[in-house]
């Protein structure tokens, strides 16, 4: 069964490594990630965006699929299933569907409203043994072809959210979702240190893990980041492997039209990417 993420992140913070949140989009994605984490004995967080949840037929389907895989693939490492950037309404939908971890992204609300909604969700989640991630300082990214630079969180606002008892906190430090533009100035470690000084031992989350140079990732972990989210990078390798397979043409002549064969190269590409990330984040052998 999927577990809450709070304990794995507490251990990661203490052990100075980070747990990967790999977002899943379909059965092949989830199965590939689970096979790799079992092989490498690493804890993992499977992220589900609202869009991916809808695509996979709804949150109950996702919970059923992942819990089924944990049993039938005989997965022994801790696996959390986590709503990514959840709205207030979708946090409740996931709680009802059996998620043990959710992110409430109230960063677009005025801070008082973010605090009020986060406070309520902390109470509800903790009464049910569910972990809660909150966000301060929105994480930018590509919108309508325009890439915005990441916003930086206000350390005092981070403290106010941290004091509500959230289990981990996503604080914007110049990180963005998707590919980083050529003129990206890099992560704001000064902001990360200022946030850390205010929130103490609370594990911090780094979103937008795609394309951040390895040395910046390692520095972020050394400064208290205990969870790193990766999505676009897996999508890119999946798409590229699938494209190559289709372009090779020959496989489609024989049995290659079998969807299980068609999706296999993408699944293998995800496995390779996840192995690379778990090694970089230092979570191998930490289950």
Active site residues: 84
Rank residues 11 and 177 by Cβ distance to ligand 13P and give the closer one.
177
Separation between Cα atoms, residue 112 and residue 128, nearest integer Å: 25
- Smallest distance, ligand 13P to C-beta of residue 47, A: 6
- Smallest distance, ligand 13P to C-beta of residue 231, A: 3
Rank residues 114 and 229 by Cβ distance to ligand 13P and give the closer one.
229
| Per-residue b or e along 207-219, where b marks 16 or more CB atoms closer than 10 Å to that residue's CB | bbbbbbeeeebbe
Say how many C-beta atoms besides its own lie within 10 A of residue 104's C-beta.
25
Report the half-sphere exposure of 188 (CA within 13 A, side-chain side).
Answer: 21
- Smallest distance, ligand 13P to C-beta of residue 144, A: 17
Rank residues 13 and 177 by Cβ distance to ligand 13P and give the closer one.
177
Cβ neighbours of residue 26 under 8 Å, at least 6 residues apart? 55, 56
- Smallest distance, ligand 13P to C-beta of residue 207, A: 3
Rank residues 24 and 245 by Cβ distance to ligand 13P and give the closer one.
24
Nearest to 106, CA basis, from 123, 118, 121, 124: 118
- Smallest distance, ligand 13P to C-beta of residue 103, A: 8
Per the CB < 8 A criterion, the answer to whether 53 and 59 are in contact is yes
Rank residues 23 and 118 by Cβ distance to ligand 13P and give the closer one.
23
Residues that bind ligand 13P (CB under 6 A): 23, 47, 84-85, 177-178, 207-210, 229-233
- Smallest distance, ligand 13P to C-beta of residue 211, A: 7
Torsion of Cα atoms, 153 then 83 then 177 then 8, to 10°: 70
Rank residues 42 and 138 by Cβ distance to ligand 13P and give the closer one.
138
């Amino acid at each position: 069964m999927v577990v809450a993420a709070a304990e794995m992140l507490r251990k990661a913070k203490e052990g100075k490594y980070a747990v990967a949140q790999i977002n899943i989009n379909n059965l092949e994605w989830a199965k590939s990630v689970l096979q790799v984490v079992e092989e490498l004995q690493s804890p993992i967080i499977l992220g589900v965006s609202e869009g991916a949840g809808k695509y996979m037929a709804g949150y109950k389907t996702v919970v059923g699929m992942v819990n089924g895989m944990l049993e039938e693939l005989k997965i022994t490492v801790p696996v959390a299933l986590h709503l990514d950037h959840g709205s207030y309404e979708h946090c409740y939908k996931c709680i009802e569907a059996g998620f043990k971890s959710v992110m409430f992204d109230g960063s677009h609300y005025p801070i008082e409203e973010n605090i009020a909604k986060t406070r309520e969700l902390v109470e509800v989640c903790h009464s049910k043994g569910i972990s809660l991630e909150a966000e301060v300082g929105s994480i930018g990214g590509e919108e309508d072809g325009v890439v915005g630079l990441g916003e930086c969180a206000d350390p005092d606002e981070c403290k106010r959210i941290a004091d509500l008892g959230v289990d981990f906190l996503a604080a914007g430090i110049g990180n963005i979702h998707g590919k980083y533009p050529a003129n990206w100035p890099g992560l704001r470690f000064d902001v990360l240190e200022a946030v850390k000084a205010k929130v103490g031992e609370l594990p911090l989350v780094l979103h937008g893990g795609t394309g951040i140079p390895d040395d910046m990732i390692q520095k972020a972990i050394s400064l208290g980041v205990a969870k790193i989210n990766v999505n676009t990078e897996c999508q890119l390798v999946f798409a590229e492997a699938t494209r190559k397979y289709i372009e090779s043409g020959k496989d489609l002549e024989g049995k290659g039209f079998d969807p299980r064969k068609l999706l296999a190269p993408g699944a293998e590409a995800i496995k390779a990417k996840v192995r690379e990330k778990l090694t970089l984040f230092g979570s191998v052998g930490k289950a």
